[in-house]
Structures are given as C-alpha cells and as structure tokens.
C-alpha cells in the first residue's frame, strides 16, 4: 500500500506556516507603493482570513467556508476594486518574497504548484474586480493540488 501524497497545505506547514506568511505579507504591504492603496482600509483580521482561505484551497480545513462564506464571499471582497495587472503582479512577487522570508518550502514541486495557484487566483481576483463582475453564489471553493488535473477537464484534441 502506498502512502497518499501530502496536500500542499500539509507540505507548506499547515495553518501556522500560512499564518506567518500572510502576517509577514500584510506587514510589508503598507510600505509598498503599488499595494498600500489597495489594502489601506483592510480589517485587522484580514491576514488571518486570507490564510484560512488559501489554506482551504491548498487542502486544509474548510474553516474559511464555514466561518466566512466560501468562494463567493472572497469574490465579493474584490467586486468594484478595479485591480490592475501591475498590482496583481506585485501581489504575487511580494507574496513569494515573504514565502522565502518565513521559510515556506522552496522545493521546485511545491513552489511550482504554489505559484500556479497564486497566478490563477490573482488573475481571477483581477477579473472579479472589474466593473460589471458578479458573484456566482453557488461557486465551489477551488481546490489546488500538485498539478494534476482534477474534474472533467480534457485537453483539446489535435
């Protein structure tokens, strides 16, 4: 019998590691000219909420869904914010710098999957921040793994 691969959440170090990551990230945001205006009025618990959301996406407990409303709630946080691609790129760049600072695993497999999620999620945030974006109330929580395709996706023929 083979042992199941750990989730990205487990590999990252669980809730404590993600809490350290987002705490450090949001400590650095006020000093960042591109990101400071985006987060100028964030709630004191913002870092904890984002850590719980990302933890759930990476295979951790469903605490964000249970306590805050899941993926639709996160989408609502981005509505009408008109985020730019430059802000999105800076968010990813600063978050990865903080991942190094707090000692998240730096093996290529983990970082590849982690970066893929950050790219996908931040691009979705930009789309959902534009005028006219709407919330799909029954949108499921994304689940991110080691790069394997899950669900009904089939690559295009040819």
Per-residue pLDDT tens for 23-66?
999 999 999 999 999 999 888 899 999 999 999 999 999 999 99
pTM (2 decimals)? 0.90
What does the pLDDT read at residue 44?
87
Residue located via tokens 């042992």: 3
User: Does pLDDT of 92 surpass 60?
Assistant: yes
Domain boundaries, the chain: 8-129
In this structure, are residues 94 and 100 in contact, taking their beta carbons and an 8 Å threshold?
no
CATH number among 3.40.30.10, 1.10.3720.10, 2.160.10.10, 1.10.490.10, domain 8-129: 1.10.490.10
């Amino acid at each position: 019998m083979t042992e199941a691969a750990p989730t990205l959440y487990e590999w990252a170090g669980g809730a404590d590691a993600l809490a350290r990551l987002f705490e450090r990230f949001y400590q650095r945001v006020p000093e960042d000219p591109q990101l400071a205006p985006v987060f100028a009025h964030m709630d004191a618990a913002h870092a904890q909420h984002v850590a719980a959301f990302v933890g759930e996406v990476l295979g951790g407990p469903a605490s964000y869904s249970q306590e805050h409303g899941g993926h639709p709630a996160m989408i609502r946080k981005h509505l009408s914010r008109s985020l730019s691609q430059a802000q999105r790129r800076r968010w990813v760049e600063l978050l990865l710098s903080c991942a190094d600072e707090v000692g998240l695993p730096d093996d290529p497999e983990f970082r590849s999957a982690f970066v893929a999620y950050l790219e996908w999620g931040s691009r979705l945030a930009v789309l959902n921040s534009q005028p006219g974006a709407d919330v799909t109330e029954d949108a499921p929580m994304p689940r991110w793994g080691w790069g394997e395709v899950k669900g009904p996706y089939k690559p295009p023929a040819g």
